[in-house]
Amino acid sequence: MGKITNEELLKNINTKFEGQLTLVGEPFGLLTLETGREQIIDILTYLKTDLSLQFIYLTDITAIHYPEQEKPIGVIYHLHSLINNVRIRIKVFLPDGDFHIPTATTVWDGANWMERETYDYFGVIFDGHPDLRRILNVDDMTAFPMRKEFPLEDPNRVDKKDYFFGR
């Protein structure tokens, strides 16, 4: 559908960032790459500013938690090139206990709240973020609710004890 194919896109990025990216796949035609946090900002900046690519639109930043993995938390960027009508997904996995990644607010202003939301949900710390506070949850919350070990229901509830239901 887009004006450049995923092969061309991948080739273009690979010539610039040789060996720093790995191809994860193309689920439903959306090129998915994985990289490290050292070069993520360089890659995002390149994708945004390169004249043949022009991924000027940051669709989304979010994260995912795989508790069993060695690098449990992955930060996921969705970019969209409005000129070429091509989307790309970039993942960065972070090692346990060291959830630091440089901020993308230097590239897009809109990354601000997306990163705050990701911090709020997963506890990913975006280094250099101008205002990294909780955004949706109450300020004094200590846990990160979207991590898999966090329960959905409020653990402090008193009206849902088993004995109310004859269990």
CA–CA dist 69, 147 (Å, integer): 13
CB of 15 to other proteins, least distance (A): 26
For residue 41, give both structure tokens: 């900002």
For 117: left if phi > 0, alpha if psi spans -120 to 50, otherwise beta; the answer is alpha
CB of 144 to other proteins, least distance (A): 11
- Smaller CB distance to other proteins: residue 18 or 68? 68
Q: How many residues does the chain have?
A: 167
Which residues are at the interface with other proteins (CB under 8 A)?
A: 1, 25, 27-28, 30, 32, 56-60, 62, 64-65, 76, 78, 82, 85, 87, 89, 108-110, 112-114, 117, 121, 134-138, 145-146, 150-155, 157, 159
CB of 87 to other proteins, least distance (A): 7
99 near 122, Cβ under 8 Å? yes
